[in-house]
Structure 1
Amino acid sequence: MQFISTRGQVPPVSFSTAVAQGLAPDGGLYLPEQLPDLKPYLAEWSKLSYAELCEVFFAIFATDIEADELKKIVTRSYTKFDHADIAPIVKLDDDRYVLELFHGPTLAFKDFALQLLGNLYESQIARTGNRISVLGATSGDTGAAAIHGLLGKEGVTTFILYPDGRISPLQERQMTCTGADNVFPLAIKGSFDDAQTAMKTVFEDREFAAEVGLSAVNSINLARILAQCVYYLSAYFRLPEDVRDDITFVVPTGNFGNVLAGWLVQRMGLPIKGFRVATNQNDILHRLFESGTYQLDEVAPSVAPSMDIQVASNFERFLYYAEGQDSEKVREIIQTFKETGKYVFENFDRAGFSSSRTDDAQIAAIIKDVYAKYGYVADPHTACGFSDGFEGKEIILSTAHPAKFPDTIQDAIGEDSTHPSLEELKSREIVKYSVEPTPEAIKAFMRARV
């Protein structure tokens, strides 16, 4: 299978090339040249374990990786999860379920993709002999998951940008207390959007990318999205049969990658009823699905910091399909948004999405209410999925362990939420580096350490 850029100005590439490059040379995001039809496989796949399901799903896309090698990559990727189901489902009542995605090594849903991506990189380096420099930007969980997915990988140097003071203290410790000498957490002044914009500009410098062997861990990397597709398949198969075709997936999201993965699987033939995009007070996506207008606003720091985003990079992949796979139209929309901070869609097709918005006060009230009603502790991002006003059956994606946000949990329910791996971090030394959020400063820092 070949992979194309959403902006249509570069030739198709193989799976391994798409993964290695991360961002396409024309600034676009890679997608399969044609989405496969999964319907003929669903009955057989429903009987598989999580790792087996991931393997057969990736085999459709990673056609340039030998079957035995792919099996090894996938099997290694799910050995560090602390629940036998990998992504367990918790039933709260007859209409409400939770899909827990926080049982990986950094207690966040990003582990599903970044454990796999780390092993894909390791295989690539062994095959080619070429070292790589990984550059990412994080609003909280991506950085920790990327670092832990790449720890111990020969030939990898990791650089992660994050907004200083705008992620939770424990999220920061997961990135800055590894003790690894090839990991560089880069604290910037500004927002996640500032970090992401600078990162994308660095990737557009193809000469620099070749010089340092640049690769991406953010959800601009197609492997991230494909890995996240698997837990929608897994969840669908494990829901009760009388529920699975009549349930809405509720997805807390900031960068649109988490919900995009489910939507792509739906387009491939999995009969998911629909999706609700659950935002915090940084609600650019909610405003889009409500009004058809995609418009920047100021980032308002919140108690759900991983969603403190105003530029949802994966929205470009959705755009590609929403605009009839018209790359020229995608380029026009992206350029207009880049120049003006706004784009108004005519006859905007919501494509089965609904949306909701939850501010900080509502998040605290929801955590308290969910705990009182179900005895279940939801982290502040997951809490956004419990917003009022939705009728029908729903499965809420729980994106992080509540112990990563102890102050918010304590304030809401008056009880501590802890996890041994996080407690152990509190005694370690923080090592981080201050860098200006400019492409020039980032490239200079990387050149000095590659």
Structure 2
Amino acid sequence: MRTRTLFSLLVLTAIAPASARALEVVPVYGMTFMGGQYFFAGDKSKLNANFTANAAPAVKLSGGRLFLPLYSGSYRGTKSVTDAVGSGTLFSQGMSHRLSFGYLRPIEGTTWKVKPSLSYKWDYLKETRDETWGRGLFDTQTVGLGFEAENTYKEPFSYRMGYDFFYTRFPNFKSLESKSGIDATGNALGRETAGVRTLDTLNQQLSFAVTRPIPYDKPVVALTAGYRLLWQKFHDQPLVNLAGQFLSENRQDFTNSLTASVLHPREIMGGKTRMGVGFNTAFNYTGSNQNTYDAGQTRFIADAYSNYSLTMGPSLGFSWGPKETPTTTNLGFTWTQQSYFGRLVQDANGLYQSDTQDHNRFQFSTGFGMPIAQNFRMLAQANFLWVDSNMRYEKTYKYSYNTANYLLGFSYDY
């Protein structure tokens, strides 16, 4: 209680000349601890742990206003099936810490709310056991400013708009052309990334999302749609030309993302069980002005980063018991196709072919959760991924492979 009172006083001093009686701290805390293994190429990792934690001591102010400090952190010892796999790596550890501050303010006389925010995030990646935390080649630091406006026109349905401005920095990145390999997502590091700050980006993002009941008066189905435009400026990555030389202009990427989903909730077994059937789709298009140059083969590849991807798949969930503390189970399947406009296929010996790269991913996931004590839930998850690609050169990175993982543990929410 002393901690909450002190925090309230600090907030009072920092953000608003409100009376002490107008302040109320609503603490929301949560954590998840799970352990599991990762399977790849007929081998399996050691048993490792995953951990997440969130703390959001929201402060209620007068007039329905909220001050929203939030800390979220995670540690990943068991690889996700969607992580880049390299040429045969079972080991990978990741850790992240994010601190943000938001201020939610209703607009009087309307159903609108606005929320400016400030955030800072640290991401760490260890690719070998002897690597030191904070020294990873692909560690990142991101600082951001955001603004969001939301109109809840029919509870819980709403539409919202947002703008984000953020800078992502790779503090340890250094790529020498003679040592070029792959980045954290499996993309080749070519001539254009030889340098120190070539992956740092200045980003601006616009987003819009809407949820809609169908029919409006007596909803049977919930529709969700969203659009996102991301503009990335690589201010230290010059364009590379046909001769492998740098131009005065720098790389810029534009990503357009469309998402849509439908959810049909219903009760079955005489109302004892609740079921949700859904279908999700997403389309992403990234246009880039950057090329690549393979110094080893003295090969210029135009438009190497532009690509599109299509994702779709069904989901099915069940819950039973008290609605506040239900037992739940879910199944999900997604298919994703990613195609590059200029990035060429290589044969098993690394020789370039005339076709461009296509990748297909099929992922199946299942989960189970049940209450075991007040605020505690037991959790179980399993994930399977199959990837097929027309890329045959796999000396530094696997393009066609199967992976799986499982996780068992518990969560605590307060």
Which TM-score applies when normalising by structure 2? Answer: 0.25
- Give the greater-gyration-radius structure (CA): 2
Instruction: From the two aligned structures, give the one with the greater strand fraction.
Output: 2
Which TM-score applies when normalising by structure 1? Answer: 0.24
Instruction: From the two aligned structures, give the one with the greater helix fraction.
Output: 1
Structure with higher RCO (Cα < 8 A, 6+ apart): 1
